[in-house]
Structure 1
Amino acid sequence: MVGVRKLTVTRAPVSPSELGIDSLPYVGVIGGSGLYEAGFFSDYFEVQIHTPYGLPSDNVVIGRVGGEWVAFLPRHGRGHRYPPHRIPYRANAWALWALGVKVVISVSAVGSLRQDFAPGDFVIPDQFFDATKGREYTFFDGPRTCHIQIGLEPFNPIINQLLYEEASRVNRTHLGGCYVCIEGPRFSTKAESRVWRDVYGCDIIGMTLVPEINLVRELGMCYSLLALVTDYDIWVPHQPVTAELVERVMSEKLDLARKVLLSVIPRIPRDVHVKCEEVLKNACV
């Protein structure tokens, strides 16, 4: 591994020469609970980036996967320094965008709101419901006002399909589902869990999708999520959810998640971002 290359970003995207590589990373991976190190790069180095929104959760690791440069950022920082409601989401998204990333694949731990989405299963959601309360949701705080429409396909369907195909080879996997994102850091009450499941009809629950997906899409990047079910939330009787349980199930499946990423990244079409960038057309007042 090459040492940390400190880079102060004054414009975006950076040039490959500034990073000392031949091309910018097309794919960026955001690792969730338990996935703090890339662990799937053949050659890598770290970049410290200063963004207009402060420092990201950690240094961005850039390395090769199948001959292509890929960026990796641990969402909570190494050592899990940032709880869900304090993650520097805007800095994270901006840093990846500044490095030239066009496609973001996230890996996250989630709870299940369905009996058939069992702990240990992978889920690739296609919709989400925002139940957070007080986060920084947008880059457009004024004077420029933009309304980004991502409602039909917030997650990229092409990448979702690739994730499903590769994940299904190594683990039980479900394609499609609605992710409800709650504020955290506490887990749901039984009443809340029942509402997410029975009233809103959501399938999985987590604390980090929003505003990560909003911000990534505002910058014209594609977004897909490989979610790992770690528990049944609290709607299942006598099924307490603990941080220890989440970490344990994640650690048991991390090697499979890395294997999926290694298989999917080389298969992603290098023009898939073109449609994702269309959300920026006619969005600003």
Structure 2
Amino acid sequence: MISSAKPHPVGVIGGTGLTTLSDLEITGERQVETPWGVPSAPLVDGRLGDQPVIFLSRHGNPHRLPPHQVNYRANLQALYDSGARTVVGVNAVGGIHRDMGPAQVVVPDQIIDYTWGRASTFFEGDLQSVTHIDFTWPYDDSARQILIDAAGAEKVPFSGFGVYGATQGPRLETAAEILRMERDGCDLVGMTGMPEAALAAELGMRYVCLGLVVNWAAGKSDHIITMAEIEEAIEQGMSGVRRILEVSIASLGALTPLPQCS
């Protein structure tokens, strides 16, 4: 799984605060175009030791794109064209499982897609043949283990499992919707997990989710969800997310690239 060749850049999709990793050297910023349009924000290039990293703000900079209007195809294509073969999607999520409360880090292993109407595949239009990717395991297991090991080493409170339920947004869910998702087997709820994971798989990229629980999902607490509690959980939990990335980036970059789908 580990390559001895020159490391590929690791793509990190998340918020702008991720560029404050310790010992990270920012080397440039560039706007790019893809056949699918422009990504959410300029790509920010950096180095963490000898490992190149490319950061992309999923919702733009400033934060302006709602989850259903993110150009996921352009984002993943831009990272792929820039050499990234492993991508970490940092996602703010709501906790459904009793062990996944605010400020907890989660590395999920499965996903259920409840989104609709999003441009969700590269394989459409004037095709010579139809392509069906295998999506049995949506998150790369080798990359997951690296994040799990890093969380344990850094003593960050985390769960190394979970089913991510991806909803349409931008509104939060009803209590009844969360109950339905819990019956379906979901442990987490978020709005940006799909089609990001599937598009990465179509490109043959290793993709892993690093989730930060920012609130209890609807009906899982005795009060309504407020932005104040979400911001408090982000402030408490992001230091752990950054520490996990800091100690895992080099190992993620050393993973052998997967073959591209065709």
TM (normalized to structure 2)? Answer: 0.91
Equivalent residue, structure 2, for 1:172: 157
SS of residue paired to 2:214: strand
* C-alpha deviation, 1:269, in angstroms: 6.0
Q: Which runs of 5 or more structure 1 residues have no equivalent in the other structure?
A: 1-22
For residue 140 of structure 1, the aligned residue among 123, 131, 140 is: 123
Separation in structure 1 between the aligned mates of residue 185 and residue 229 of structure 2, nearest angstrom: 25
Equivalent residue, structure 2, for 1:38: 19
* C-alpha deviation, 1:237, in angstroms: 4.1
* C-alpha deviation, 1:170, in angstroms: 3.2
Check the 8 A contact 2:106/2:210 in 1, yes or no: yes
Check the 8 A contact 2:10/2:54 in 1, yes or no: yes
For residue 246 of structure 1, the aligned residue among 230, 242, 247 is: 230
Superposed CA deviations along residues 200-246 of structure 1, whole A, max 9, x for unmatched, are 01100000010111111111101001101111111224232233432
Equivalent residue, structure 2, for 1:221: 205
SS of residue paired to 1:255: helix
Superposed CA deviations along residues 101-128 of structure 1, whole A, max 9, x for unmatched, are 1000111110011111121111100100
Matched, 1:234 2:234: no
* C-alpha deviation, 1:66, in angstroms: 1.9
Matched, 1:79 2:96: no
Q: Which runs of 5 or more structure 2 residues have no equivalent in the other structure?
A: 1-5
For residue 204 of structure 1, the aligned residue among 170, 185, 188 is: 188
Superposed CA deviations along residues 45-90 of structure 1, whole A, max 9, x for unmatched, are 1011011111111000011012121101010112211011111111
What is the root-mean-square deviation in Å for CA atoms of aligned residues?
A: 1.7
Equivalent residue, structure 1, for 2:3: none
Equivalent residue, structure 2, for 1:12: none
Separation in structure 2 between the aligned mates of residue 259 and residue 37 of structure 1, nearest angstrom: 10
Matched, 1:97 2:80: yes
Check the 8 A contact 1:36/1:77 in 2, yes or no: no
Separation in structure 1 between the aligned mates of residue 228 and residue 8 of structure 2, nearest angstrom: 34
Residue identity opposite 1:196 in structure 2: M
Which of 130-139 and 265-274 deviates more? 265-274
Which of 255-264 and 37-46 deviates more? 37-46
Equivalent residue, structure 2, for 1:65: 48
Separation in structure 2 between the aligned mates of residue 158 and residue 183 of structure 1, nearest angstrom: 29
Which of 90-99 and 46-55 deviates more? 46-55
Check the 8 A contact 2:140/2:206 in 1, yes or no: yes
SS of residue paired to 1:195: helix
Equivalent residue, structure 2, for 1:190: 175
For residue 111 of structure 2, the aligned residue among 116, 128, 134 is: 128
* C-alpha deviation, 1:26, in angstroms: 2.5
Separation in structure 2 between the aligned mates of residue 271 and residue 120 of structure 1, nearest angstrom: 29
Check the 8 A contact 1:122/1:227 in 2, yes or no: yes
- After superposition, the Cα gap between the structure-2 partners of 1:133 and 1:43, relative to the gap in structure 1 and judged at 3 Å, is closer
Equivalent residue, structure 2, for 1:119: 102
Separation in structure 1 between the aligned mates of residue 143 and residue 234 of structure 2, nearest angstrom: 22
Check the 8 A contact 1:163/1:264 in 2, yes or no: yes
Separation in structure 2 between the aligned mates of residue 108 and residue 244 of structure 1, nearest angstrom: 18
* C-alpha deviation, 1:167, in angstroms: 1.4
Equivalent residue, structure 1, for 2:254: 270
SS of residue paired to 1:273: coil
Check the 8 A contact 1:113/1:235 in 2, yes or no: no
Separation in structure 1 between the aligned mates of residue 41 and residue 229 of structure 2, nearest angstrom: 25
Identity %: 36
